[in-house]
Amino acid sequence: MSTVTNSRYVAEYDALAPILPGQALPWLQQLRKDALEKFSAHGFPSPREEEWRYTNVSAIEKKLFVPSITLTASHVDKDWLKSQQLEGAWSVVLINGHFSSEHSLLDGLPEGVSIMGMADALAGAKDVSPLLGQSVNNAEHNLVAFNTAWFTDGVFVHVPAKQVLMKPIQLLHIVTEADVMAITRNLILVDEMAEAQVIETFAGTDNAYLTAAVTEVFVGQNAQLTLTKMQVESEKAYHFSGTYVKQAKDARFNHHNFVFGGLLARCDIHSDLDQASECELNGLYLGVKRQHLDNHTRINHLKPHAISREMYKGVLDNRARGVFQGRVIVAQDAQKTDSQMNNRNLLLSDDAEADTKPQLEIYADDVKCGHGVTVGQLDEKSIFYLQSRCVDEETARNMLTFAFANEMVDKIKIKSLHDKVLEQVLMRFPQEGIEKSWL
């Protein structure tokens, strides 16, 4: 990163720091200070780093995005906001990086369930000191350090032991202004034997802006959390999000990642598995025009008898580039591990590109692990088969493309979310020959 740009961001921080949440908390001030020092020394990640070899974020360096200092809820188009909120879900709204109680829909929360802005939690409503920075630290990479130093707000979610939520919780991150950076830090706690579904939605108006969100997740013993992310940012936006999970013994964590928007988007999903815990990661990334979509997953099997399953699919058209880096690490003590990872990529254009790098690091000797990768175009035999059934070639290609992507959409069990994701899929690729009423 250039020294000039780096100093601009750091100089901006000096003016911002006094109004960031948690000023009265010495532990948080130290955490922010350490993060700022790391970012100041090294800047944004570089392709020279192995974990970033396929993704160049230098475009962020060339433009100084400025944090939104205060909540500007009055600028929100309420009809557009309502169209982003899911039916049948509690809705937590963050506008330009700030929690908005005015626009959130939290009536009817069960007793003991806590949902609030991170700034409110840090102001004394909750003690988050044992949690913040525990599932990921500044050493992960410099975008995490950047988030730690700059975050202006976020969401705190706590589901107490044995509580089973009958409705999902939607965390709706929206950006309404140009040239801002919306930087949020979120904590999700699902205690022992509890069950919850959380949906993260990232959307914004047609502007250039930067989203940088880090979500730390703690899933208690024998608890279950399904976390779904749908990213439909502006085609001019830059997006980074990281989800970092700690699973206790027998905990079950499912993640569905749908990456559709952004000019450049990077998504990290990392999970640490304890004994007999289960982790399932599913993803679909659809790239058009000149989009660059990077997905980075890491599953750490730390104890015996844990199970992980991973399936990511990409569909890339025009000059889009998709990246998948999946890493499974099996520790020496993690005997009887069962892990499978797959990545499938469909290229619709000669100029589209897919870079895929699956990794297995196995230090135990009694495991069952495997991975598979494909990068290719539509099967000409399948196209010919449909043509022999009186389907024209263009329609046949559309049907096969949609079927390839729809396998991941069908994994969604929440109808309102399923319909939203399906709508995004149909928007991005030709629909001739496909009737929505069939689906």
pLDDT of residue 190: 98
> In whole angstroms, what is the distance from residue 355 CA to residue 371 CA?
16
Confidence band of 2 (pLDDT split at 50, 70, 90): very low
Q: Is residue 357 part of a domain?
A: yes
CB 177 within 8 A of CB 207: yes
Cα–Cα dist 301/346, whole Å: 30
Yes or no: say if 367 and 331 are a contact pair by the CB < 8 Å rule: no
Which comes out higher in pLDDT, residue 238 or 6? 238
**Same domain for 259 and 235:** yes
Q: How far apart are CA 255 and CA 369, in angstroms?
A: 20
Tell me the average pLDDT of the chain.
91
Bigger pLDDT: 69 or 143?
143
DSSP state of 73: G
- Within-domain flag for 14: no
> What pLDDT, in 10s, does the model give residues 116-132?
999 999 998 788 999 99
List the single range of 72-76, 186-190, 254-258 with lowest mean pLDDT. Answer: 72-76
Domain assignment present for residue 25? The answer is: no
Residue 433: give the domain boundaries.
Answer: 382-439
Structural domain includes residue 43: no
Asked if residue 289 and residue 175 are part of one domain, the reply reads: yes
Tell me the C-alpha distance between 366 and 337, whole Å: 7
Q: How many CA atoms lie within 13 A of 314 on its CB side?
A: 28
432 and 330 together in one domain:
no
Domain final residue, candidates 365, 381, 397: 381
Residue 26 lies in a domain: no
Count of domains observed in the chain? 2
Closest residue by Cα to residue 50 from 370, 298, 346, 351 = 298
Task: Please check whether residues 386 and 367 belong to one and the same domain.
Answer: no
Higher-pLDDT residue of 183, 378: 183
Q: Which residues pair with 346 in a beta bridge?
A: 315, 376
* 274 and 390 share one domain: no
Is 1 a residue whose pLDDT tops 50? no
State yes or no: pLDDT of 436 exceeds 80: no
Which DSSP helix (H) or strand (E) runs through 329? strand 321-330
H helical segments located in 293-392: 380-387
Q: Tell me what pLDDT residue 4 has.
A: 45
Sign of the CA dihedral with 426 first, then 428, 434, and 435 last: positive
For residue 435, the model assigns a pLDDT of 57
Residues 255 and 386 in one domain: no
CB atoms within 10 A of CB 380: 8
118/246 same-domain check: yes
DSSP 389-422: TT--HHHHHHHHHHHHHHHHHTT---HHHHHHHH
User: Do 243 and 272 have their domain in common?
Assistant: yes
Comparing 17-31, 356-370, 379-393, 405-419, which segment has the lowest mean pLDDT?
A: 379-393
- Tokens at 428, concatenated: 């991005």
Same domain, 313 and 439: no
Condensed to tens digits (0 to 9), the pLDDT of residues 222-240 reads 999 999 999 999 999 999 9
Query: Does residue 439 have a pLDDT over 60?
Result: no
Q: Say if 394 falls within a structural domain.
A: yes
The sign of the torsion formed by the CA atoms of 148, 153, 159, 161 equals positive
Compute the half-sphere exposure of residue 296: CA atoms within 13 Å on the CB side of its CA.
18
Domain shared by 275 and 412, yes or no: no
- Residues 38 and 143: their CA atoms lie apart, in Å, by 10
Task: List the single range of 49-53, 225-229, 300-304, 395-399 with lowest mean pLDDT.
Answer: 395-399
Together in a domain, 420 and 320: no
- The residue among 185, 187, 266 whose CA lies nearest residue 219 is 187
Q: Which pLDDT band holds residue 402 (cuts at 50, 70, 90)?
A: confident
Is 307 part of a structural domain of the chain?
yes
Res 14: pLDDT: 82
Question: Does the structure show a pLDDT above 60 at 437?
Answer: no
Look at residue 59 in the predicted model and tell me its pLDDT: 86
In this predicted structure, what is the pLDDT of residue 431?
Answer: 63
435 and 296 co-located in one domain: no
- Say if 81 falls within a structural domain: yes
pLDDT at position 291 over 90: yes
> Where is pLDDT greater, at 78 or 245?
245
| Residue 342 scores a pLDDT above 70 | yes
